Amino acid sequence: MIKLFDIEAWLTALSFVPTTDRLTWTYTTSAGYVISVAIDSSDPCNSKISFGSKIVVGHKGVCNFKKLENFVGLECVIRLLEKGYSPSCIELEKTWPSGHSTSGRLDILLFRGKGAKRKSFAMIECKQWGTEYSDERNKMLKDGGQLFSYAIQEPTTEYLTLYASTLDPGGSIKMIAEQVHYAPINVGNQEENYTAWDKSFQLGGLLSDISGPYLSSKKNLKKEDLIELDQETGQGLFNSFAEILRRHAISDKSNAFNKIFNLFVCKICDEDCKSPADELDFQWKIADTAKALIETRLSALYIKGLKDYLQVDIENAYFSPLAEFSFIDTYDLKSYERNASVIREVVELLQPYQIKYTQKHQFLGDFFEDLLNSGIKQEAGQFFTPTIVARFFLKSVPVHSLIESKIKSGSSDILPYLIDYSCGAGHFLTEAIDEIQQKIDVIDPANLVGRYQKKFLAIKDNFYWAKDYIYGIEKDYRLAKTTKIAMFLYGDGDAVIINGDGLDDFNASKTYKGLLKINDKRKYLEQFDVVVSNPPFSISGFKSDIPLVDENFTLGANLGLNSSEIECLFIERCGQLLKPGGYMGLILPLSILNNEYRVYQEARKLLLVQFEIAGLVEMRDKTFKPTNTTTVGIFGRKRSQDVLRSKTIELCQALLGVVPASDEAKDAISFATKAGVEKNIIEHQAAELLQQLIDKSSPLVVEGCGLSDEIAIALIAFLNDRKVALVFTGDKKEQEAFLGYRYSSGRGRESVEELRSPEGELLSSLYDENNLHNPEKANAHILAAFDQSPLPVPIELEKSVKYSSLNQLLCFKSFTIENPSTAFASDTGDIESNSPFGDFIDDMSQVTIDWDSLISKAEIVPISGLVYSKKSETPRQTNNRVLTASNLCLRTGKIDTSAKLIYLEESFVIDETLCPQKGDIVISKASGSLKHLGKAIYIDENLPGHAVGGFLMILRFSNEKLGKAIFYRLLSKKFRLYVASLKGQNINNIDLGDIQRARLTIPLDLDTFYKSAIKKEAQLKSITKKLTNLRK
């Protein structure tokens, strides 16, 4: 709704003068011509514009303010009058006869000459600034649009001009005009004229600052002529790009948008190295040629840009403009000219606008996201972090308190040094800069002194500080280039972006610089305050690509040439980069918590020793669109070596009885004992370790990985008697409500749609945009866990946020960590025990099932189900029967052979070991329902000729009492809750490894439990028999 304030603001900017009562406003040209506006205070939109007696107005709809476009028309008329055009040569809302009616209305028609010599000179179509302007420009490129349809009515027309203007927040008017020289292409009908047009525009034309009446001569753009982009125009740019690609039938969108990013490098470099009065190279110049534009100016800008921004030196002998700017395959003159036409259109689209800023422009970031989602394909092990998730991570790491502590300590660097060592498209970096800038904006310079205050004042009002404090490393050259463009579009262009390997050697690297480059040989850099990253994972055979991997990474010893566990090295690299007390926020696959391969165990030892873990965030499949992998966010603070050595010495001395053990040390030793650590072994290891720690000539670096398992168990228990915040994003649709965004598809591209209220508030449980410590948001609880000051969890978050003792989450034997979602499974009210007697198994003292030992001794024999070809099935009943999950009856707890069986041909030979035997447990490994996933049946008698199918497995026992105890544990609520926690991770599948990771317990006294179970079963059998007799 247009208000009186808006009208008065426009009129003031146009130099209208109001009467005392402000009801009449007049504008007088230097020649004395008057345009006036009569204000209707009761209905401002109905205020009347009088264009004077000489300007012809074909329709009165242009003489009010009911449409924003009318402001543009009024402003354009005044601009024409100021240039010296006679009002009698201006006609508004011109129409022409068309069949039984009239044509559409042209906004402004300029005439030249008088009387019989009067003829059409130029046609001007006025549009609202932004999307409406961009849409009409695209229509012109598509089929000529409105202007070409009007021009056919006036054969003498020389110029067609598309025009828009707007009032900026400062009260000044900015405009854009793009002109088509129509006279040379007026060769026939509308379609022929459109075909003759080369689809290029002249910027400014007859409305440019240097043009007088009927002088439409073009000038080349200078930097000072660039127009500052706003949100509406930014939104239209993407659609204009897409329209160019559509019109030229360019189907390889990934390549096309990569070339557009290359052109952005040229555009940014051009703006960056020119002074305001300099003529720009990124434009289609007067009398320009494709060769001059592409092979000379763009090539030079691109080479310079890559060197300046990414330290990539391109040798001319190996540089091909056709390769770097080729939207289509170029193999002859015709294809060269077609490709040149695309380049010219993209250049002309971008050339009027300023792209490089020193302040954040969110709409430019949105525009970049549109390009990114459409043009960048994510490769194996690589997926981009949605902006909201990146923002959550930066709001969960105590950046603000870190800056405050630096100020209080009198540090010369009050800002944190931050790095993303696998920065992808740069989301963590752009959000980090924004988060730090928010803190900078509220810092009182009076709290700083001397040169520190001067340094701060020099950087506080722009993002120049980023060049010293923000680092990004990206191995993929294409993505590194994309990240640098993102930095510029977000206003953060001075951040250090390195096209290199995040796992490179700090000394030998040819790409590292600044804080990352050192002159001596060492593993630990310890230069950064914060590491936030979403590094790649599961890349087969990566080890051979990592420089000096075995020298630089202790975990390298656990990797083979075909290993894929690259995420483990990124954990170790995180510890190498951070200063003591530095913070990390990493996104890793959930399997990092419980995969029992040796390299994962060693990585967890490192993680639990080197870091104080504050938060674990389990993020399910809707967090990252291109992958269904469930991930975990790990937040921690790095322990100093002084603390680690001191704590390790204290533990070793306690183990050896050198000093009295503290309560914490006693608890740690108790944890080790319960995990099966033998006293004599750990004492021997403690003696050796203590000697290494007190050796001042070569003090041991306590890394965690590399320690013996026995010592590591005790040390981890000793260090981690602390609370950790657990966050679970939920399942299925509830994820979107928790995250605050969803993925949507449209016009051939996927995008992230933020969920906001009508007032614009982000509807997310991750963080509050205005209150960092809102207890109703997950980030506040992670921040509280860093300080070990848990907040009360509000009711709304009880199914998503909890605090837990870290030691209670650990399985010390394999160093696994429980998935955060497991802690919330108990909140699922509809999950109960499958035991008909309730969980009487929990009434006795328990011991953890040592699966590895029992299996190695053949006390438990796991047997996988039968795998066969569908061709072996037969509809006829045979003696070869296959049991499925449908035959496992939860109601009776028995095998139900009356349910549907699968029959195999008589010729098929079934291994009798696959047939259930008395004392076996048969378990369902897969099911479309969680109710039936993991259900277990105890076998009371042999079932020859009935093999278990591939979705079932058998547990066979040498000890019937052990089998009976494990059976009732698999029926228990504890196990059912664990099965429920697997939903969305390995959805509706469970295997023996999953069961082992559940850390199930059974009664210590198996004899007593067995007698109790047999007695209860006999009673149930007796009752069932009596009920059956009563029914007869």
| Residue 297 scores a pLDDT above 90 | yes
The helices-and-strands tally (H runs, E runs) of the chain is 33, 39
Q: Hey, what are 304's tokens?
A: 């310079």
Least confident span in 71-80, 177-186, 483-492: 483-492
3-state secondary structure of 758: coil
Same structural domain, 611 and 490: yes
The pLDDT, as a whole number, for residue 637 is 97
Distance separating alpha carbons of residues 736 and 320, to the nearest angstrom: 46
The pLDDT, as a whole number, for residue 830 is 63
pLDDT in tens, 741-774: 887 765 445 567 889 888 889 999 999 999 999 9
Torsion of CA 921, 966, 802, 727, to 10 degrees: -40
Strands of 620-722 (E only): list them: 631-638
pLDDT in tens, 856-887: 999 999 999 998 888 888 889 999 999 988 88
Same structural domain, 405 and 480: yes
Share of the chain above pLDDT 70, in %: 92
Q: What mean pLDDT is predicted for residues 161-173? A: 89
CATH of the domain at 508: 3.40.50
The pLDDT, as a whole number, for residue 380 is 40
The pLDDT, as a whole number, for residue 606 is 96
Kindly state the greatest CA–CA separation across the chain: 119
The pLDDT, as a whole number, for residue 928 is 62
What lies within 8 Å, CB to CB, of 384 at 6+ separation is 372, 376, 378, 424, 425, 427, 534, 624, 626
Domain for residue 477, yes or no? yes
For CA atoms 774, 776, 780, 781, the dihedral sign is positive
Domain hosting 326: range is 221-356
Cα atoms in the 13 Å half-sphere on the side-chain side of 437: 20
Q: How confident is the model at residue 100 (pLDDT cuts 50, 70, 90)?
A: low
Same structural domain, 441 and 505: yes
Domain for residue 702, yes or no? no
Q: How confident is the model at residue 216 (pLDDT cuts 50, 70, 90)?
A: very low
3-state secondary structure of 83: coil
Q: How confident is the model at residue 372 (pLDDT cuts 50, 70, 90)?
A: low
Q: Give the DSSP per-residue string, 232-248.
A: HHHHHHHHHHHHHHHHT
Cα atoms in the 13 Å half-sphere on the side-chain side of 648: 31
Same structural domain, 343 and 452: no
**Contact criterion met (CB below 8 Å) for 789 and 425:** no
Q: What mean pLDDT is predicted for residues 935-954? A: 92
Residue owning tokens 């072994």: 681
Same structural domain, 410 and 534: yes
| Residue 171 scores a pLDDT above 80 | yes
Which of 929, 925, 953 has its CA nearest to residue 939? 953
Domains of the chain: total: 3
Same structural domain, 854 and 935: yes
Domain for residue 94, yes or no? no
Same structural domain, 465 and 591: yes
| Residue 279 scores a pLDDT above 70 | yes
Same structural domain, 226 and 348: yes
Higher pLDDT, 926 or 109: 109
Same structural domain, 350 and 420: no
Same structural domain, 431 and 306: no
The pLDDT, as a whole number, for residue 347 is 92
| Residue 976 scores a pLDDT above 80 | yes
Torsion of CA 784, 787, 792, 794, to 10 degrees: 10
Which of 390, 423, 986, 383 has its CA nearest to residue 627? 383
| Partners of 528 in the β-ladder | 578
3-state secondary structure of 494: coil
3-state SS of 258-317 is: HHHHHHHHHHHHHHHCCCCCCECCCCCCCCCCHHHHHHHHHHHHHHHHHHHHHCCCCCHH
What lies within 8 Å, CB to CB, of 401 at 6+ separation is none
The pLDDT, as a whole number, for residue 687 is 92
Q: What mean pLDDT is predicted for residues 30-38? A: 86
Task: Give the end of a domain, one of 304, 336, 356.
Answer: 356
| Residue 276 scores a pLDDT above 60 | yes
Mean pLDDT comparison of 474-488, 521-535, 698-712, highest-scoring range? 521-535
pLDDT in tens, 505-554: 999 999 999 999 999 999 999 999 999 999 998 888 898 889 899 999 99
Q: Measured between alpha carbons, how far is residue 316 from residues 183, 299, 313, 323, 875 in Å?
A: 42, 10, 10, 13, 72
As a residue count, the chain comes to 1032
Domain for residue 314, yes or no? yes
Exposed e or buried b per residue across 668-690, where buried means at least 16 C-beta atoms within 10 angstroms of its C-beta = bbebbeebebeeeebeebbeebb
Domain for residue 647, yes or no? no
Q: What are phi and psi of 279, to 5 degrees?
A: -80, 135
What lies within 8 Å, CB to CB, of 441 at 6+ separation is 460
The pLDDT, as a whole number, for residue 418 is 97
The pLDDT, as a whole number, for residue 729 is 92
Higher pLDDT, 210 or 256: 256
Domain for residue 322, yes or no? yes
Domain for residue 1, yes or no? no
Q: What are phi and psi of 190, to 5 degrees?
A: -60, -45
User: Which DSSP letter does residue 999 get?
Assistant: -
What lies within 8 Å, CB to CB, of 340 at 6+ separation is 290, 293, 294
Note the pTM of the prediction, 2 decimals.
0.71
The pLDDT, as a whole number, for residue 679 is 87
CATH of the domain at 840: 3.90.220.20
Which of 622, 650, 804 has its CA nearest to residue 718? 650
Q: How confident is the model at residue 986 (pLDDT cuts 50, 70, 90)?
A: very low
| Residue 677 scores a pLDDT above 90 | no
Alpha helices in 351-426 (DSSP H): 362-375, 387-396, 399-409
The pLDDT, as a whole number, for residue 362 is 59
Q: What mean pLDDT is predicted for residues 226-246? A: 76
Same structural domain, 391 and 474: yes
Domain for residue 349, yes or no? yes
**Over the chain, what is the mean pLDDT?**
87
Which of 595, 394, 426, 417 has its CA nearest to residue 499? 426
Same structural domain, 347 and 402: no
List the 418-420 sheet strands across, edge first.
Answer: 496-499, 470-474, 418-420, 528-533, 578-589, 631-638, 611-619, 723-728, 801-805
Higher pLDDT, 1031 or 350: 350
Q: Hey, what are 72's tokens?
A: 């543009």
pLDDT in tens, 405-450: 988 888 778 899 999 999 988 889 988 988 998 888 888 888 887 7
